[in-house]
Amino acid sequence: MRKPLSVLLVLLVSVAMVLAACGQGNSGSGSGSSSPAASPSPSPSGSSAPSPSPSESPKIDYPTKAIELIVPFAAGGGTDAVGRATAEALKKELGVDVVVVNKTGGGGAVGMQDGLSAKPDGYTITVVTREVVSLPLLGQAPFQTMDFRFIGNVNRDPAVLVVPTDSPYQTAEALIEAIKNKPGSLKFAASVVPNYYGIQFAEAAGLDFITIPFNGAAPAIVELLGKRADFGIYNPGEVKAQVDGGNLKPLAVMAEERFPGFPDVPTFREIGYDIVSGTYRGLAVPKETPEEIVKILEDALAKAVEDPDLIAFMENSFLGRQYMDSETYTKFIEEDIKILTPIIEIAKQQM
Amino acid sequence: MKNAGAWMACALMAFALVMGWQALTLRYYTKFGPGSGFMPVWSSVLLFLLSAAYLWESLRRDVIRFRDILPEGKTLWRNVTILLAVLVFILIVPYTGFVAAGIVLLLAVFLFDFKWYAGLALSVTIILIFFYLFRTLLKVPLPVNALGW
Amino acid sequence: MDSFVQLLQGFATAGTWENLLYCTIGVTIGMLVGVLPGLGPTTVTALLLPLTFGLDPIPAIIMLAGIYYGSMYGGTITTVLINTPGEAASVITALDGYPMAKQGRAGTALGVAAIGSFVGGTLSVVGLAFVAPPLARLALEFGPAEFFALIVLGLSLIVGLMGKSLIRGLIAALFGFILSLIGQDPITGSLRWTFGQPHLMGGLDFVTIAIGMFGLSEILIAFEQKTEAGAKIAAKIKGLLPRREEWRPTIMSILRGTGIGFLIGLIPGSNTVIPNILSYTVEKRLAKDPPRFGKGAIEGVAGPETANNAYCGSALIPLFTLGIPSSPTIAILFGAFIMHGLTPGPTLMQTDADLVWAIIASMFIGNLILLIMNLPLAGMWARIALIPPRYLYPVVLIICIIGAYTVSNSLWDVGVMLVFGIIGYLFRKLDIPLAPVVLTFILGNLMETSMMQALIGFQGNFLGFFQRPISGTLLAVSILIIALSVYSNIRNRRNLLGGDAEE
């Protein structure tokens, strides 16, 4: 028994040594274990004045190696597409490789949390979506929304109300009429649970309909096409194929302005209901990241969103483009927290 | 009690109890039909009952003893080591990175069949090949430490 | 026939040297990466997607389709050789494929799988090319109620895989079922059994459970094999093709598998498990001597593997005709289309018909390339099973760990794999069958979700299930099957007959 025992000893000793030596070690990029919040970096974060360093020049050596971009959702989805396209564009601006890593789980919570616990040195950026606001409000995230420092927004997808093309309700008003006449009877095929679009719709217009929950837009759309549901509310990219193919008809968008891909579709405001909703994707870093690095990223992103390849890709995929710089984006997110809080209260009661 | 089947049955019953207990905190029925708690509760109950039947079966008819099914001596230790090594791997990888942790893991397993220098050579070669294959060629993310390997 | 002409033109486009090259590359890479457990078709396709960025649309999609097919076959290789099904599709193949490997017939198993995959894939692409649109419309009739009934049917067939002890089989099935419920409730979003872990919110992942229960436990058990003589017996690799008397049943099962796979693939949202289980069970019931299954029955490999690939081909039909992706892997293909500026759906056939036909033609070619590559290679793959355990299994161990890690790039999954490895090991030692665990795991959650969705649609009326023709029929059949299985199981026990498939 001597040999196996010594093997075990070797293992245990190595563990002990490593744990002792790296007591304060922060997990490296890509390891995924949650570690306590990173120790603050020497330069003051959040201050607008450059730190009084001896060299006095604000130019720092960043980036010098590849940057990791965490996408908190699965490959092939909308967020992943935005992330990868943005990574390509950023590569050109920053001159280094921007590598996309998908870290799924928790409806986005795992990836975002990983982004937060990485070293705030600008080499780990996270794609944040509306979930960065909704998950903490739902109590389903181990972080708070404002733990992030938001660099800028890239994509904004409004929600669009659709019906099958041969539906008896050919305008949004007709649909709303019908729902009001038959409360609790018309069916909404929801692509996500809980469905903020649906709740906002119901609240703003005072409607009572049945929500059938599905896992993603595809099965929800099948339900619509098979006439087992009457209407749906999704993002434009999810319905483009169907609208082009003549299977679905968009009735209204929940946005401030008409969506470029659907020029003939009125906004909800135009027909009298103040509903603005949708999802968005932007970039963020932990809030301890030094100001200089954030500025470099912000400038790079501002140029990246003008990249013709990115623009072409977004337009082809019906992904709405709306760039917001860091300050605007941060305010936007604070607004969104206010908007979502009452909606999530309602959603929580349904759970 | 050397009856392996009985122990497994008890473990399953405990599992069913814990899950069932948790399931009771969920909403049982909604206006549209079963709520989130419905299936969990009933599945746990069923599992509990079946495990009890299994327990009875293990004690009366189909007795399987630990001694019959578990290996002995070196083989047993080897299997235990494999499991422990994986655990160790998981614990140390964030600090030492994939390459080092992987070498430790493989070495632990190889030591049962090879001399230490052969085992070490094999481990290093294999880990390096995999590292190159996945990280560099395929760009598959691997658990690495702060240094990148 | 207009379509036929277009198909020929498609062949012309796909047959250019450039496209052929990309097709081959795609198939090869897909296969090699798919060999690794944990890297199933979805992951592989997603990982290799960036490779296609710089290409034009046609070669890019041809390569992706090649990767898709290749990775499905790659998974089969691992399953047969080391009993480590890395994706749902392979679990059933493991039941008879691995025993065949242990008998030295790994080459045959892989060869039959290659042939079956080719036939199934090709025939379903033919279907895709010629009868797609009307069938797709029909598929829209499949709503949650029908889905639920279909899954119940699948689950009822699992009873047939229970093995000697009904109790242990049911325990395994229930265990898998409970595991599948962990996570966010699909209807209300409330968290079930997550114990505060964000990683559990999405539920457990099939891949980690499969790698753990099958792969890790296999490693542990393999090290326990006392004799190396076992390996020497298997050293006579008995060739690639079935024995003469096996040809006929094999061909029949391939044909049946094609039909089953093709039909199920049309249903958007179904997954590969259903055609596999159906095919396996059909084969087992139609065979003259069912006890042979589970110990290396060649139909048990031929049928499901064919069904698998037939499913893949026809699953593309909803994508092409309606623009609806049926499964996550296809969703990635969908994304790839969009990234290259194409929108799958009815309009695609009108605006870019030549592109579509080129892709369809390349699928034929891809299947053919797979077959040509693998028939000779099968022998080589089979030799891998002969490497002495002390060399082979440590490598397999590292592969399993990497495979588990890639699921969501976190060590959590490696930990889950470890836990299930221990559970799988104990289960195997105690004769608790593993297959029902993973199968109910895949189907359980879906079943509950469909049931709830249908009930919401029926506004709480359970009878709604029976009022719709398709779901009513399927449910009735399922109840029948369950009743028959339980009855025959009890009867067998009374007759002291050994019985059906064992793990």
pLDDT digits (tens, 9 = 90+) for C207-252: 788 888 888 888 888 777 655 444 444 444 556 666 777 788 888 8
Nearest CA in chain A to C267: A222
Per-residue burial over B67-93, b if 16 or more Cβ lie within 10 Å, else e, is: eeeebeeebebbbebbebbbbbbbbbb
Break chain A into its structural domains and give their ranges. Answer: 67-157+279-350, 158-278
| Range among C181-185, C316-320, C359-363, C381-385 rated most confident | C181-185
Q: Which residue has the higher pLDDT, B117 or A153?
A: A153
CA distance C260 to A42: 64
Dihedral angle, C-alpha A141, A147, A151, A154, nearest 10 °: 20
Q: Are residues B55 and B79 in the same domain?
A: no
pLDDT for B10 equals 87
Looking at CATH, the fold of the domain delimited by A158-278 is given as D-Maltodextrin-Binding Protein; domain 2 (3.40.190)
| 3 state DSSP class of C306 | helix
pLDDT for A11 equals 64
pLDDT for A1 equals 40
Indicate whether B119 belongs to any domain.
Answer: yes
Cross-chain CB nearest to A7 (options B94, B95, B108): B108
CA distance B28 to C340: 47
* In contact, C24 and C369? CB cutoff 8 Å: yes
Q: In this structure, which amino acid lies at residue C145?
A: A
CA distance A100 to A71: 7
Q: At residue A282, does pLDDT exceed 90?
A: yes
The single residue listed with the structure tokens 């790698």 is C211
Q: At residue B8, does pLDDT exceed 70?
A: yes
Q: At residue A91, does pLDDT exceed 60?
A: yes
CATH of domain A67-157+279-350: 3.40.190.150
Say if residue A194 is preceded by a cis peptide, omega within 30 of 0: yes
Note down the domain range covering B41.
4-69
Average pLDDT over chain C, rounded to an integer: 78
Nearest CA in chain C to A218: C324
Q: pLDDT band at B78, cuts 50/70/90?
A: confident
Q: Which residue has the higher pLDDT, B47 or C165?
A: B47
Cross-chain CB nearest to B32 (options C47, C409, C459): C459
Q: Which of C138, C128, C98 is nearest to C6 (CA)?
A: C128
Chains that touch B (3 or more CB pairs under 8 A): A, C
Indicate whether B129 belongs to any domain.
Answer: yes
Residue of C405, C410, C440, C443 to mutate for B, most B C-beta atoms under 10 A: C405
- H-helix or E-strand spanning residue A38: none
Q: Which residue has the higher pLDDT, A298 or C223?
A: A298
Total Cβ atoms within 10 A of residue B59 = 14
Q: pLDDT band at A43, cuts 50/70/90?
A: very low
Q: At residue C333, does pLDDT exceed 60?
A: yes
Indicate whether B13 belongs to any domain.
Answer: yes
Residues in chain B closer than 8 A to C393 (CB atoms):
109
The single residue listed with the structure tokens 């990982």 is C47
Q: Are residues B63 and B77 in the same domain?
A: no
Supply C493's token pair: 């026990």
Q: Do B85 and A11 touch (CB under 8 A)?
A: yes
CA distance A250 to A256: 16
CA distance C177 to B50: 14
CA distance A25 to B94: 9
Return the DSSP state at C283: H
Quote ipTM for the complex: 0.88
pLDDT tens readout for residues C465-490:
787 888 888 888 888 877 877 777 67
Q: At residue A248, does pLDDT exceed 80?
A: yes
Indicate whether B149 belongs to any domain.
Answer: no
Residues in chain A closer than 8 A to B73 (CB atoms):
1
Residues in chain C closer than 8 A to A242 (CB atoms):
322-323, 345
* In contact, A112 and A126? CB cutoff 8 Å: yes
The stretch C153-175 carries a mean pLDDT of 78
pLDDT for C87 equals 74
Indicate whether B145 belongs to any domain.
Answer: no
Break chain C into its structural domains and give their ranges. Answer: 2-494
CA distance B136 to C142: 44
Domain boundary among B36, B52, B69: B69
Q: pLDDT band at A286, cuts 50/70/90?
A: very high
pLDDT for A152 equals 92
Task: Give every CB contact of residue C295 below 8 A, 6+ residues apart in sequence.
Answer: C96, C99, C501
Q: Which of C7, C2, C39, C55 is nearest to C23 (CA)?
A: C55
3-state helix, strand and coil shares in percent for chain C, rounded to the nearest 5: 75, 0, 25
Q: Are residues B53 and B98 in the same domain?
A: no
pLDDT for C421 equals 92
* In contact, A339 and C365? CB cutoff 8 Å: no
pLDDT for C315 equals 83
Q: What are phi and psi of B41, to 5 degrees?
A: -60, -50
Q: Which residue has the higher pLDDT, A13 or C151?
A: C151
Angle at C17 between CA C12 and CA C20, to 5 degrees: 80
Nearest CA in chain B to C448: B39
Q: At residue A85, does pLDDT exceed 60?
A: yes
Cross-chain CB nearest to C33 (options B40, B69, B138): B138
pLDDT for C235 equals 44
Q: Are residues B43 and B91 in the same domain?
A: no
Given this chain, do its domains A67-157+279-350 and A158-278 carry the same CATH topology?
yes
Q: Say what percent of chain C tops pLDDT 70.
A: 87
- H-helix or E-strand spanning residue C367: helix C353-384
CA distance A188 to C306: 38
Q: What are phi and psi of C326, to 5 degrees?
A: -85, -15
pLDDT for C232 equals 43
* In contact, C161 and C169? CB cutoff 8 Å: yes
Q: Which residue has the higher pLDDT, A326 or C17?
A: A326
Strands (E), chain A: 67-71, 98-102, 124-129, 148-164, 187-190, 210-213, 232-234, 248-254, 278-286, 321-324
Cross-chain CB nearest to B50 (options C48, C170, C219): C170
pLDDT for A126 equals 94
pLDDT tens readout for residues A177-231:
888 888 888 889 888 877 888 888 888 888 888 888 887 787 888 888 888 889 9
Q: At residue A47, does pLDDT exceed 80?
A: no
pLDDT for A76 equals 67
Q: Are residues B108 and B58 in the same domain?
A: no
Q: At residue B138, does pLDDT exceed 70?
A: no
| 3 state DSSP class of C225 | coil
pLDDT for A15 equals 61
Residue C440, classified by CB atoms within 10 Å of its CB into exposed (0-12), middle (13-18) or buried (19+), is: buried
Domain boundary among B44, B69, B94: B69
Domain total in chain B: 2
Q: What are phi and psi of A144, to 5 degrees?
A: -105, 150
Q: In this structure, which amino acid lies at residue C160?
A: G
Query: Of A157-166, C56-65, C297-306, which range is least confident?
Result: C56-65
Q: pLDDT band at A104, cuts 50/70/90?
A: confident
pLDDT tens readout for residues A53-68:
444 445 678 888 889 9
Please compute Rg for chain B using Cα positions: 23
Q: Say what percent of chain A tops pLDDT 70.
A: 82
Q: pLDDT band at C492, cuts 50/70/90?
A: low
Q: At residue B111, does pLDDT exceed 90?
A: no
Q: Are residues B22 and B46 in the same domain?
A: yes
CA distance C40 to C48: 12
Q: Do C331 and A76 touch (CB under 8 A)?
A: yes
Supply A163's token pair: 């019906």
CA distance C405 to A251: 44
